[in-house]
């Protein structure tokens, strides 16, 4: 690292600049620990500082995570250039799957590249291998669980994907020079209550929390989702690789003073904890860098003051099939009308579960459950008020997802999946763009024919709107949400 770069990184560290949180980690040679740039501990001298672009790189250099700023809570990144994008999509996939035993070759296959190319991308972006990155993901998740929950050490080891207590203890001691039980003794007394687990996920401020809650509340499916008292709640269903069905609930709130969200998870969902945390990050767009987005979109305010607001997030989805069905139901009808149809679908074909939480009564029907309905799909969905064409579209979506002809997961190439989507009868450009924006997390989707977009930018034609939006690449999804919010 050049000396001028070193001075810049140290200045950011000294200023506790939140814009660098998750992008920069500081190893302190005098203490042997590494910190986030927002750490509140005593400022070390510059000669004792070494700067890294990832927690994994700092740990491979021999540093232990700080117990004050807790690097496991740092927000992630969402770049758009090719090599960085591959590395970061791979990182998100590893974070999601770190509780499972999946090989790097399998991860690379899901990303559409070779494992060798994935290793090159990780070396370029993070200066570590995918295996080393995965190891840090598991260690930091375990540290989070040890600090914030009452889970036993063996439960922590299994939830974080170590496979055995011995393997967990050995690696934890090797990397952190500390046994897990010793860390627990040092942790704060406040823990999750019995029957659930509460963890914290960081984001980069500002974060328009109420705005994203309002968006989700308007579209919440009764029985499956609820928004109240400043929190988002929903039911959850996962099917494991062993064909085991797991049901439960989650609750997401905000800790404004910590620039973080709290995620409370039903204890029954512990075997799929890493997948749940990954989906929450996606649903609430925790990888967003609001300053980078605003730098590009600020010109929207030249059209109309207040058209773009710093801190706006793109609401993602927790269940991609649920979101895609909701998009199909919403074609050419009101948001309220689509919500009513979704509620009927859930009440008739959703799986009832006991949550003990008012308003959370069912999980959304899975693709397999839709395909299992006997006879023409219109006979089942028609009485609910769903037209025959939309019923057939929902059935074809379920079939394509079950047969893996479509993939809405984090690691996909959205442009390719959108082309496949538009080959499904009943899926046009608006629906494909909407699904890409919310289910696949594509930052550059743009719904130029959308009623709200046209209303916010009237009297321009759709072609004029599309031409105007070229200046907003690669953040047109954020431009779309800003336009909706403006109305």
Mean pLDDT of the chain: 92
Say whether both 99 and 131 belong to one domain: yes
The confidence score (pLDDT) of residue 189 equals: 46
To the query of whether residue 450 is one of the catalytic residues in this protein, the response is yes
Say whether both 182 and 201 belong to one domain: no
- How many domains does the chain contain in total? 3
Q: Which long-range contacts (CB under 8 A, 24 or more apart) does 93-97 make?
A: 93/409, 93/410, 93/411, 94/130, 94/133, 94/134, 94/137, 95/137, 95/274, 95/277, 95/278, 95/281, 96/274, 96/275, 96/277, 96/278, 96/279, 96/410, 97/274, 97/275
The confidence score (pLDDT) of residue 79 equals: 63
Say whether both 158 and 95 belong to one domain: yes
Q: How far apart are CA 137 and CA 389, in angstroms?
A: 44
The confidence score (pLDDT) of residue 186 equals: 65
The confidence score (pLDDT) of residue 243 equals: 84
Q: How far apart are CA 478 and CA 311, in angstroms?
A: 10
Tens of pLDDT along 178-209? 889 888 776 554 555 567 999 999 999 999 99
Say whether both 217 and 171 belong to one domain: no
To the query of whether residue 35 is one of the catalytic residues in this protein, the response is yes
Full-model pTM: 0.90
265 band by pLDDT with thresholds 50, 70 and 90: very high
Final residue of a domain: which of 18, 39, 65? 65
- Report the CATH number at residue 158: 1.10.10.60
Say whether both 201 and 176 belong to one domain: no
Say whether both 177 and 202 belong to one domain: no
Q: Name the residue among 256, 231, 248, 153 with its Cα closest to residue 196.
A: 248
Final residue of a domain: which of 251, 286, 321? 286
C-alpha separations of 87 from 60, 74, 96, 135, 334 in Å: 18, 17, 14, 16, 39
Which helix or strand (DSSP H or E) is residue 256 part of? none
Tens of pLDDT along 201-249? 999 999 999 999 999 999 999 999 999 999 999 999 998 878 899 999 9
- Report the CATH number at residue 268: 3.30.310.20
The confidence score (pLDDT) of residue 80 equals: 59
Q: How far apart are CA 181 and CA 159, in angstroms?
A: 16
Taking residues 62-79, report their average pLDDT.
Answer: 88
Q: How far apart are CA 86 and CA 126, in angstroms?
A: 12
Taking residues 437-442, report their average pLDDT.
Answer: 93
Q: Are strands 196-202 and 225-228 parallel, antiparallel or unpaired?
A: unpaired
- Answer yes or no: is 29 within a domain: yes
The confidence score (pLDDT) of residue 476 equals: 96
Q: How far apart are CA 293 and CA 447, in angstroms?
A: 18
Tens of pLDDT along 370-418? 999 999 999 999 999 999 999 999 999 999 999 999 998 766 788 889 9
Final residue of a domain: which of 186, 205, 238? 186
Range of the domain at 132: 82-186
Catalytic entry in 21, 35, 66, 444: 35
Catalytic entry in 21, 285, 319, 450: 450
Say whether both 99 and 50 belong to one domain: no
């Amino acid at each position: 690292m050049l000396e001028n770069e070193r001075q810049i990184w140290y200045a950011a560290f000294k200023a506790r600049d939140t814009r660098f949180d998750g992008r920069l980690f500081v190893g302190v040679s005098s203490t042997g620990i590494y910190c986030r740039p927002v750490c509140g501990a005593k400022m070390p001298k510059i000669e004792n500082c070494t700067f890294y672009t990832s927690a994994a790189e700092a740990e491979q250099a021999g540093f232990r995570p700080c117990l004050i700023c807790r690097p496991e809570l740092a927000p992630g990144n969402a770049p758009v250039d090719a090599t960085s994008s591959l590395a970061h999509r791979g990182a998100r996939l590893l974070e999601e799957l770190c509780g499972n035993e999946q090989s790097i070759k399998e991860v690379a296959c899901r990303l559409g590249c070779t494992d060798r190319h994935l290793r090159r991308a990780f070396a370029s972006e993070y200066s570590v291998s995918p295996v080393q990155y995965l190891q840090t993901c598991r260690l930091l998740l375990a540290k989070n669980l040890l600090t914030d929950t009452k889970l036993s050490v063996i439960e922590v080891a299994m939830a974080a994907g170590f496979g055995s207590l011995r393997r967990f203890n050995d690696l934890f001691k090797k990397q952190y020079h500390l046994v897990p039980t010793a860390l627990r003794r040092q942790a704060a007394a406040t823990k999750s209550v019995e029957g659930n687990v509460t963890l914290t996920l960081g984001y980069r401020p500002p974060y328009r929390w109420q705005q994203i809650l309002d968006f989700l509340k308007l579209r919440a499916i009764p029985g499956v989702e609820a928004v109240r008292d400043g929190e988002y709640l929903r039911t959850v269903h996962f099917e494991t690789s062993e064909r085991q069905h797991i049901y439960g609930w989650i609750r997401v709130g905000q800790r404004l003073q910590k620039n973080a969200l709290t995620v409370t998870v039903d204890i029954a969902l512990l075997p799929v904890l890493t997948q749940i945390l990954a989906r929450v990050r996606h649903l609430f767009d925790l990888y967003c860098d609001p300053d980078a987005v605003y730098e590009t979109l600020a010109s929207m305010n030249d059209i109309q003051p207040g058209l773009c607001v710093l801190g706006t997030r793109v609401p993602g989805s927790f269940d991609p099939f649920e979101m895609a069905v909701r998009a199909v139901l919403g074609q050419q009808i009101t948001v309220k009308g689509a919500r009513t149809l979704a509620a009927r679908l859930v009440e008739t074909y959703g799986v009832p579960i006991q949550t003990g939480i008012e308003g959370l009564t069912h999980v959304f029907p899975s693709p397999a459950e839709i395909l299992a309905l006997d006879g023409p799909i219109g006979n089942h969905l028609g009485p609910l008020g769903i037209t025959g064409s939309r019923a057939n579209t929902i059935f074809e979506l379920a079939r394509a997802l079950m047969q893996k002809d479509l993939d809405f997961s984090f690691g996909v190439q959205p442009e390719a999946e959108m082309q496949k989507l538009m080959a499904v009868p009943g899926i046009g450009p608006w629906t494909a763009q909407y699904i890409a924006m919310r289910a696949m997390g594509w930052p550059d989707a743009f719904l130029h024919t959308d009623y709200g977009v046209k209303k916010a930018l009237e009297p321009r034609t759709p072609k004029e709107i599309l031409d105007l939006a070229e200046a907003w690449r690669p953040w047109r999804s954020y431009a779309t949400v800003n336009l909706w919010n403006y109305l």
